[in-house]
Chains A and B, each alone.
Chain A
Amino acid sequence: MSPARRLPQGGRIDRRRRLRFTFDGRSFEGHPGDTLASALLANDVLLVARSFKYHRPRGIFSAGQEEPSALVQLERPGGRRDPNLRATRQELFDGLIAYSQNRWPTLRVDVAALNDRLAPLFPAGFYYKTFMWPRWAWKALYEPSIRRMAGLGQAPTEPDPDRYEHRFAHCDLLVAGAGAAGLVAALVAVRAGLRVIVAEDDVAIGGWLLGEGSARVRLDGERPDLWLAQVRAELEAAPKCRLLCRTTVFGCYDHNFVALLERVADHLPEPPAGLPRQRLWKVRARQVLLATGTLERPIAFPGNDRPGVMLAGAAATYLHRFAVLAGQEVVLFGNHDGIYAIARDLRWAGARVTLVDSRQRPAPRLVDELRDLGCEVRTASVVVGTGGRLRLQQVHLTTRARAQETTGLPEVIPADLLLVSGGHNPDLALFAQARGRLVWEEARGIFLPGEAPWPVRVAGGANGCPTVAAAFADALRVAREIVIDLGRTPPSVPLPLVEEPGAAAIEPLWRVPMPKPRQRAKAFVDLQDDVTVKDLELAIREGYGAIEHLKRYTTTGMGTDQGKTGNVVALGLAAETQGTSVPELGYTTFRQPYLPVPFGAVVGPHRGRLFDPVRLPPSHAWAERQGAVFEPVGQWRRARYFPRTGETMEQAIAREARTVRQACGLMDASTLGKIDVRGPDAAEFLNRLYTNDWKRLAIGRCRYGLLLRDDGMVLDDGVGARLGDHHFHLTTTTGGAARVLAWFEEWLQTEWPHLRVYLTSVTEQWAAFALSGPQAREVLRPLVEGVDLSPQAFPHMSVREGRVAGVPARLFRISFTGELGFEINVPAGYGAYVWERLVEAGEPHGLVVYGTETMHLLRAEKGYIVIGQETDGTVSPIDLGMEWLIARGKGDFLGSRSLARPEMRRPDRKQLVGLLPRDPAMVLDEGAQIVEDPTASPPAPTLGHVTSSYASPNLGRTFALALVAGGRSRIGQQLYVTRLEGPPVAVEVTAPVFWDPEGKRLHA
């Protein structure tokens, strides 16, 4: 048996096949070609949703992507769950499972509908006014309960099993919208030999011609289908044309960068093997043509949100495209000629129709024709209310004149469908996204496209064309302009002869004007956000009349539909209420995306292992075999520590740190940035960048270097070695490698292009292994050829070239632990080999392999800073106590002028010091605040913060580094360090070096 409201014939549905689906657990049937909305309507399901704020019953309002009300949740196999889908755009498939949203316990009985009764308590700006005090209650009470109440669908709980693709494309012309105008323009462009992409949101090309237009329009005497089939065949056959249906242009960005969402498999239970669910296209188009058509707008009157209230054009679409007669007793309310044809169609389909025209004198021909068909026509009349509980049952009518009176009852007539049409707005959201200006046309009350900053054009309905013939002509003209702009010759494209009704006359009407006492029921402007005429009026009274304020204060147009149907009504109303004009009021910004885009599509393939590249140092495989624990350091994965069986992290680090100081240790330092600097002016160049004097560095020697920004703050540090007169090797921090190279290049190219210097990043070319500890020399000795390792021949801070384990190597005598240290650099391809030789050679000497955690502990014992830990962009070398690094007499360098400011020497600046907790077992929190008075209640003045904090097995106690205001003058004082739990703890301020302050071990 056919569903209740399905007509026996007509429509673009395949009646031979039946598709079963469920909505809120009830089973229904539909056909291929149906949307979920058309199938629900066919089955006489009018109640499909509850509204956002008041939980009012809502139905299906439109037949397209602009739908504000009928949002549903789809559940698919494999944990797939999609909330907030428009039932009007979801294609039906066999086995579809949909649920209504934002209701409890059921759609018919929703407890939160109480909100509707309490509506006087929820005026515009409700949230701003209400949930202000007490402050703590927001997080604890208000927000959780608001979130429960005011929601849309539920987020999925399972990981998304589907694949999403990103594709890049270039074209000469991108056409958004394949209706009458878009297709003509595409034909012109294709015949001119241009590369064309045509994107259509719908499942097929045709736009309005697929639905209402199919009944209204004849092309060369035939139904439009014939012409559409010809066009489709030509576009599909054209080698340089890509026709994409089920594809929404959702973003028009700068310089014709256009984003498209292709719903590859949303019309199927799950994507077929090998196909993504959705595809995000990133298109750079030389020219963009927006043929996005129009969107019908409603009229605000009390009770205009009841299930059974629908846009007039939507009913026409359901009738002609889906063979669904959405009601038997229909009231059609509008302000233009277009509704007469719809009334006629509904009448022919068997409905009883009452047409309510707000205009005084519509064309008598139209009125007479309808009356001859047996329809009632009321002119100069308006709808002032509706009745019915979960669906429309009555419509309240009166004349415009009587609507203005404060007394008098309206006429009540029975109805199960109320169709509304306030006119058609050109859909210019994409044009506005592309920063095109919108120009107001008073006569029709619509925005039209104005100027755009780059080649974005608009044609057809979106350009204000009232008829198909006008749209054809407009598209032809615009497409020719485009072809000529791109240097081609416009081809001949004969257009079919159009038979259609003429342009519809209209008198704009935003709302039914009624005196206050009659406005008891809510008249909605924005159905999705539950914004009423009253809310707008209240906001304006409270001073939020400016359009951007009005939007935010009332939330009008802020739903997932972005106010596609209601925004112009809100604007018109706001202008009317304030006695101003729409152009004076302006319009709110149109933002991307045009339609909601799933996160999966935005993320695309960039998740899991493909989220970010992982960089691995040469010892990684070895470290993995040893069971190392790793940590991410930027893109690098570094070994954090190497636990032995049964060891905790603390025990492992204590063992590693002790062994380095007592015997020796080996760490992979290959992640350090390395820059090869060559050229006759290399020393001069480095002198300008670093605080140090590089001209006086002898060949074969190294220097610890500090880079400052020109504001005097520390940017990075590292060791530089002079390998030749014109050749230096600089290291940077692991995280700073790219930044420092960029810094070098910028100054070289932009400020000092005359310096003859060549910069090469060699970070990944050299493996670097830090070997340090008293036994380091003995470990290394048997592996080294060609270098005398004795302290006299190879002193601290020098570099030698030779071989290690037979591999060409650079040996640096440097140390980040404070022990005798060598950094062995070999070509990265030999890294893993040399690493294992070093580990073997170390075994007899008790060598330990250590990770980043031990490295940090050891360097902190020695008071060596870590960029980004002891510095944060506001710390100068003076603050760090590193003035000894600032070369005197070499002249200007970056940061030098700023260091000369008196401000930099203020004694109360935060300075680097050490902290020893009074309790030697207390590990301070890094980042903890330092205060003078532990009893002061917050907000208490803080003196600084802990930058590094460790338990040291070598010191037998805990210690920390800190930045403390006037820290150096506080050495010996007692201060307090806050904790997350418990009272502040006492610490003694010390110098920041805890281990071997004389540096005897370093020079061993």
Chain B
Amino acid sequence: MLLIPCPFCGPRAEIEFRCGGEAHIVRPADPATLDDAQWADHLYFRRNPKGVHHERWWHVHGCRRWFHLTRDTVSDRILAVYPVGSRSPLASREDER
């Protein structure tokens, strides 16, 4: 069970959290202008990297705040924690899409 450093509460056990999947998927401002393929890409397609992954977490049984963290999916080491709406200190250009 991961030990997740909630930016608001400090380190807490994983059972207090819910993972919200890949971070930085911005809902298009005007979905009506997207064709079906683009919309499907937004809705369903996610990266599944072996290695560094930026993801959303929710401290559901705690402060109920969403935040982002960067995790190595191989070692499960947590590399960074950062607020919603900001970039990971470890973000590479490839991560921004």
Residues on A lying within 8 angstroms of B by beta carbon are 253-257, 284, 435, 453-454, 710-711, 742, 745-746, 749-751, 753, 892, 896-898, 900-901
Q: B14 to chain A: which residues have CB within 8 Å?
A: 254
Contact of B32 among A255, A711, A900 (CB under 8 A): A900
Is B76 on the interface with A (CB-CB < 8 A)?
yes
Q: A254 to chain B: which residues have CB within 8 Å?
A: 1-3, 14, 76
The distance in angstroms between the C-alpha atoms of A710 and B44, with both chains bound, is: 10
The distance in angstroms between the C-alpha atoms of A284 and B56, with both chains bound, is: 24
Is B90 on the interface with A (CB-CB < 8 A)?
no
Contact of B65 among A257, A435, A710, A749 (CB under 8 A): A749
Contact of A435 among B13, B34, B43, B75 (CB under 8 A): B75
The distance in angstroms between the C-alpha atoms of A454 and B3, with both chains bound, is: 11
Q: B47 to chain A: which residues have CB within 8 Å?
A: none
Q: B58 to chain A: which residues have CB within 8 Å?
A: 742, 746
CB distance from B26 to the nearest CB of A (A): 8
Is B82 on the interface with A (CB-CB < 8 A)?
no
Contact of B39 among A255, A256, A749, A897 (CB under 8 A): A897
CB distance from A283 to the nearest CB of B (A): 11
On whether the beta carbons of A750 and B84 are closer than 8 Å, the reply is yes
Q: A284 to chain B: which residues have CB within 8 Å?
A: 3, 13
On whether the beta carbons of B13 and A257 are closer than 8 Å, the reply is yes
Q: B31 to chain A: which residues have CB within 8 Å?
A: 892, 896-897
Q: B84 to chain A: which residues have CB within 8 Å?
A: 749-750, 753
The distance in angstroms between the C-alpha atoms of A750 and B2, with both chains bound, is: 23
Contact of B77 among A257, A454, A749 (CB under 8 A): A454
The distance in angstroms between the C-alpha atoms of A93 and B55, with both chains bound, is: 54
Closest to A893 in B: B31
- Known contacts A254-B76, A284-B13, A710-B27, A901 near B1 by CB under 8 Å: no
Contact of B76 among A255, A753, A898 (CB under 8 A): A255
Contact of B30 among A253, A454, A892 (CB under 8 A): A892
On whether the beta carbons of B34 and A897 are closer than 8 Å, the reply is yes
Is B51 on the interface with A (CB-CB < 8 A)?
no
Please provide the chain B residues from 23 to 79 with a CB less than 8 Å away from any CB of chain A in the complex.
26-27, 30-32, 34, 36, 39, 43, 56, 58, 60, 64-66, 75-77
CB distance from B68 to the nearest CB of A (A): 9
CB distance from A959 to the nearest CB of B (A): 37
Contact of B60 among A742, A750, A901 (CB under 8 A): A742
Contact of A255 among B1, B30, B66, B85 (CB under 8 A): B1
The distance in angstroms between the C-alpha atoms of A563 and B23, with both chains bound, is: 42
The distance in angstroms between the C-alpha atoms of A892 and B33, with both chains bound, is: 11
On whether the beta carbons of A898 and B43 are closer than 8 Å, the reply is yes
Q: A256 to chain B: which residues have CB within 8 Å?
A: 3
Q: A453 to chain B: which residues have CB within 8 Å?
A: 75-77
On whether the beta carbons of A257 and B1 are closer than 8 Å, the reply is yes
Q: B36 to chain A: which residues have CB within 8 Å?
A: 901
- Known contacts A453-B75, A749-B65, A753-B84, A257 near B3 by CB under 8 Å: yes
Interface centre among B31, B39, B76, B77 (most CB of A within 10 A): B31
The distance in angstroms between the C-alpha atoms of A742 and B3, with both chains bound, is: 22
Is B89 on the interface with A (CB-CB < 8 A)?
no
The distance in angstroms between the C-alpha atoms of A284 and B1, with both chains bound, is: 10
The distance in angstroms between the C-alpha atoms of A290 and B75, with both chains bound, is: 19
5 extra interface residue pairs, beta carbon distance < 8 Å, beyond A255-B2, A897-B39: A257-B13, A435-B76, A453-B77, A749-B84, A750-B20
Interface centre among B30, B34, B66 (most CB of A within 10 A): B66
> Can you list 5 A-B pairs, Cβ within 8 angstroms, ordered by A?
A254-B2, A284-B3, A453-B75, A742-B58, A749-B84
The distance in angstroms between the C-alpha atoms of A453 and B75, with both chains bound, is: 6
On whether the beta carbons of A745 and B43 are closer than 8 Å, the reply is no
Task: Fill in one digit per residue for B1-24: 1 if any A CB lies within 8 Å of its CB, else 0.
Answer: 111000000000110000010000
CB distance from A677 to the nearest CB of B (A): 16
The distance in angstroms between the C-alpha atoms of A453 and B36, with both chains bound, is: 42
Q: B43 to chain A: which residues have CB within 8 Å?
A: 710-711, 898
Closest to A168 in B: B13
Q: Using C-beta atoms within 8 Å of the partner chain, give the interface range for chain B.
A: 20 to 34
Q: A742 to chain B: which residues have CB within 8 Å?
A: 58, 60
CB distance from B42 to the nearest CB of A (A): 8
CB distance from A631 to the nearest CB of B (A): 27
Closest to B20 in A: A746
Q: A253 to chain B: which residues have CB within 8 Å?
A: 1
Closest to B1 in A: A257
Closest to B64 in A: A745
The distance in angstroms between the C-alpha atoms of A749 and B20, with both chains bound, is: 12
The distance in angstroms between the C-alpha atoms of A254 and B26, with both chains bound, is: 30
CB distance from B70 to the nearest CB of A (A): 15
Q: B75 to chain A: which residues have CB within 8 Å?
A: 435, 453-454
Q: A711 to chain B: which residues have CB within 8 Å?
A: 43
The distance in angstroms between the C-alpha atoms of A255 and B84, with both chains bound, is: 24
The distance in angstroms between the C-alpha atoms of A284 and B43, with both chains bound, is: 37
The distance in angstroms between the C-alpha atoms of A253 and B85, with both chains bound, is: 31
Closest to B18 in A: A742
The distance in angstroms between the C-alpha atoms of A892 and B75, with both chains bound, is: 41
Q: B27 to chain A: which residues have CB within 8 Å?
A: 710, 751
The distance in angstroms between the C-alpha atoms of A254 and B32, with both chains bound, is: 43
On whether the beta carbons of A255 and B3 are closer than 8 Å, the reply is yes
The distance in angstroms between the C-alpha atoms of A751 and B31, with both chains bound, is: 14
Closest to A759 in B: B64
Q: B77 to chain A: which residues have CB within 8 Å?
A: 453-454
The distance in angstroms between the C-alpha atoms of A900 and B34, with both chains bound, is: 11
The distance in angstroms between the C-alpha atoms of A898 and B66, with both chains bound, is: 26
The distance in angstroms between the C-alpha atoms of A517 and B16, with both chains bound, is: 62
The distance in angstroms between the C-alpha atoms of A897 and B36, with both chains bound, is: 9
The distance in angstroms between the C-alpha atoms of A435 and B75, with both chains bound, is: 8
On whether the beta carbons of B1 and A746 are closer than 8 Å, the reply is no
CB distance from A254 to the nearest CB of B (A): 5
On whether the beta carbons of A753 and B13 are closer than 8 Å, the reply is no
CB distance from B75 to the nearest CB of A (A): 4
Q: Which 7 A-B pairs have the closest CB atoms?
A: A897-B31, A453-B75, A255-B3, A257-B1, A749-B66, A254-B2, A750-B66
Q: B13 to chain A: which residues have CB within 8 Å?
A: 257, 284
On whether the beta carbons of B1 and A753 are closer than 8 Å, the reply is no
Q: A435 to chain B: which residues have CB within 8 Å?
A: 75-76
CB distance from A341 to the nearest CB of B (A): 42
On whether the beta carbons of A897 and B32 are closer than 8 Å, the reply is yes
The distance in angstroms between the C-alpha atoms of A454 and B75, with both chains bound, is: 9
- Known contacts A745-B64, A746-B66, A896-B31, A753 near B85 by CB under 8 Å: yes
Q: A897 to chain B: which residues have CB within 8 Å?
A: 31-32, 34, 39
CB distance from A381 to the nearest CB of B (A): 48
Q: A896 to chain B: which residues have CB within 8 Å?
A: 31-32
Contact of A898 among B1, B20, B39, B85 (CB under 8 A): B39
CB distance from B96 to the nearest CB of A (A): 17
Interface centre among A255, A710, A896 (most CB of B within 10 A): A255
On whether the beta carbons of A750 and B3 are closer than 8 Å, the reply is no
The distance in angstroms between the C-alpha atoms of A521 and B87, with both chains bound, is: 66
The distance in angstroms between the C-alpha atoms of A898 and B75, with both chains bound, is: 37
Interface centre among A257, A711, A750, A900 (most CB of B within 10 A): A750
CB distance from B24 to the nearest CB of A (A): 10
Closest to A745 in B: B64
The distance in angstroms between the C-alpha atoms of A965 and B62, with both chains bound, is: 44
On whether the beta carbons of B32 and A892 are closer than 8 Å, the reply is yes
Closest to B68 in A: A750
The distance in angstroms between the C-alpha atoms of A256 and B13, with both chains bound, is: 11
Q: B85 to chain A: which residues have CB within 8 Å?
A: 753
Q: B2 to chain A: which residues have CB within 8 Å?
A: 254-255
The distance in angstroms between the C-alpha atoms of A253 and B27, with both chains bound, is: 36
Interface centre among A742, A749, A898 (most CB of B within 10 A): A749
CB distance from A592 to the nearest CB of B (A): 11
The distance in angstroms between the C-alpha atoms of A435 and B32, with both chains bound, is: 46
CB distance from A315 to the nearest CB of B (A): 41
CB distance from B32 to the nearest CB of A (A): 6
CB distance from A903 to the nearest CB of B (A): 8
CB distance from B87 to the nearest CB of A (A): 15
